[in-house]
Amino acid sequence: MSLTILIVTFKSEKIIESCLSTINKKYPIILIENSNNKIFKKKIEKRFSNVKCFLTGKNIGFGKANNIGLKLAKTKYVLLLNPDTFLYKDTIKILMDSANKIKDFALLAPLVNNKKNLNYGFFETKKTKINKSFQKVDYIKGFAMFFNKKKFSKIKFFDENIFLYLEEIDLCRRILLENEKIYVVTKARIKHLGGCSHGINFNLNVEISRNWHWMWSNFYYYKKHFGIFLAYKKTLLVFLKSFLKIFFYLFLSKQKFLVNKARFLGLLNAYLGKDSFYRPLVN
């Protein structure tokens, strides 16, 4: 077997079984659960014989958890998936066939099966054409990434300073800087619900966490790759707007107040050079 499936979960009990059910059981699956939920581990491994679940003990983030799985995988290729993605019967076969044809790739990705726009939110390239069987692109999103592991001895995997957001964009940029290649396989399709990896009971707390980390990660990414002055230029207006909106929504909307407070604090802590320490308040 030359392929391992890798999935990172956090409060994903209501969606993960639907995802796993779309994967052929001949493929080994490494599931990294960002908690110490032993009941979840036991249930998943009993239900799916091809799944090996590893508990991190706490929420360590998307990139760091995936790095654990990528290092555990002993196969040539690893397909990283989000819990709210669903494969078609031929998705893996088409990706594997493409891997054998292209050979020099670092990352591959399928297209999202979106009727209005097949490449919506998935990749960026100066020449967007989807009539070829595969196409070189600038980046892909992190919910479906097909790794050619031998290409990452020098590049390494995800930047573990990033808890959430832009970790895949950072990785793709580092891949291109090493003159390695990223492709979208246009005949391979995948469904992605988006924002459904966790239970709806945690929506508000997760939304607060997302906004905190979205702002922190934006500043960190621009500072890392383009320098501190551009990082401030890209984020300062949002920082000031968020500060004003905190007071505007103080008595009008609790949710908008909390979201803007999170955006402000995420950037403030990034400006102060602090780690991405915030974690969603869920039990």
Question: pTM of this prediction?
Answer: 0.90
Q: What is the pLDDT of residue 12?
A: 87
Across the chain, mean pLDDT equals 90
**Rounded average pLDDT over 219-233:** 98
3-state secondary structure 218-260: HHHHHHHHHCHHHHHHHHHHHHHHHHHHHHHCCCCCHHHHHHH
37's tokens = 């939920």
**Rounded average pLDDT over 196-220:** 80
* pLDDT band, very low/low/confident/very high, at 196 (cuts 50, 70, 90): low
Please state, for a pLDDT cut of 90, what percent of the chain lies above it.
78
Burial of 109 from C-beta contacts in 10 A (0-12 / 13-18 / 19+): buried
Q: What is the pLDDT of residue 126?
A: 44
Q: 125 versus 152: which is more confidently predicted? A: 152
Q: What is the pLDDT of residue 14?
A: 85
DSSP assignment of 191-204 equals EE-SS-SS-GGGHH
State the amino acid at position 81 in one-letter form: L
Buried b (16+ CB within 10 A) or exposed e, 12-46: bbebbeebbebbeeeebbbbbbbbebeebbeebee
Domain boundaries, the chain: 3-192, 200-271
Buried b (16+ CB within 10 A) or exposed e, 117-148: eebeebbeeeeeeeeeebbebebbbbbbbbbb
Q: What is the pLDDT of residue 199?
A: 47
Q: 279 versus 60: which is more confidently predicted? A: 60
**Rounded average pLDDT over 12-18:** 91
Q: 203 versus 226: which is more confidently predicted? A: 226
Q: What is the pLDDT of residue 134?
A: 84
Helix (H) / strand (E) element for 185: namely strand 181-192
Q: What is the pLDDT of residue 215?
A: 98
Give dist(CA 100, CA 275) in Å, integer: 40
By DSSP bridging, strand 105-112 and strand 139-140 are unpaired
Q: What is the pLDDT of residue 276?
A: 95
51's tokens = 């799944």
On the question of pLDDT at 13 being above 90, the answer is no
On the question of pLDDT at 203 being above 60, the answer is yes
Helix (H) / strand (E) element for 145: namely strand 144-148
On the question of pLDDT at 153 being above 50, the answer is yes
Q: What is the pLDDT of residue 121?
A: 43
pLDDT digits (tens, 9 = 90+) for 96-148: 999 999 989 999 999 887 555 444 444 444 444 555 788 899 999 999 999 99
Q: What is the pLDDT of residue 101?
A: 92
On the question of pLDDT at 49 being above 90, the answer is yes
Range with lowest mean pLDDT among 101-110, 154-163, 180-189, 273-282: 273-282
* pLDDT band, very low/low/confident/very high, at 149 (cuts 50, 70, 90): very high
State the amino acid at position 129 in one-letter form: K
Do residues 6 and 32 lie in contact, with contact meaning Cβ atoms separated by under 8 Å?
A: yes
On the question of pLDDT at 281 being above 50, the answer is yes
- Give backbone dihedrals phi and psi of 56, rounded to 5 degrees, phi first: -85, -20
Q: What is the pLDDT of residue 127?
A: 46
Instruction: List beta partners, residue 240.
Output: none
| CATH topology assigned to domain 3-192 | Spore Coat Polysaccharide Biosynthesis Protein SpsA; Chain A (3.90.550)
**Rounded average pLDDT over 26-55:** 96
Q: What is the pLDDT of residue 131?
A: 52
Q: CA triplet 147, 151, 157: central angle to 5 degrees?
A: 65
Instruction: List beta partners, residue 108.
Output: 146, 183
Cα 229 to chain center, whole Å? Answer: 27
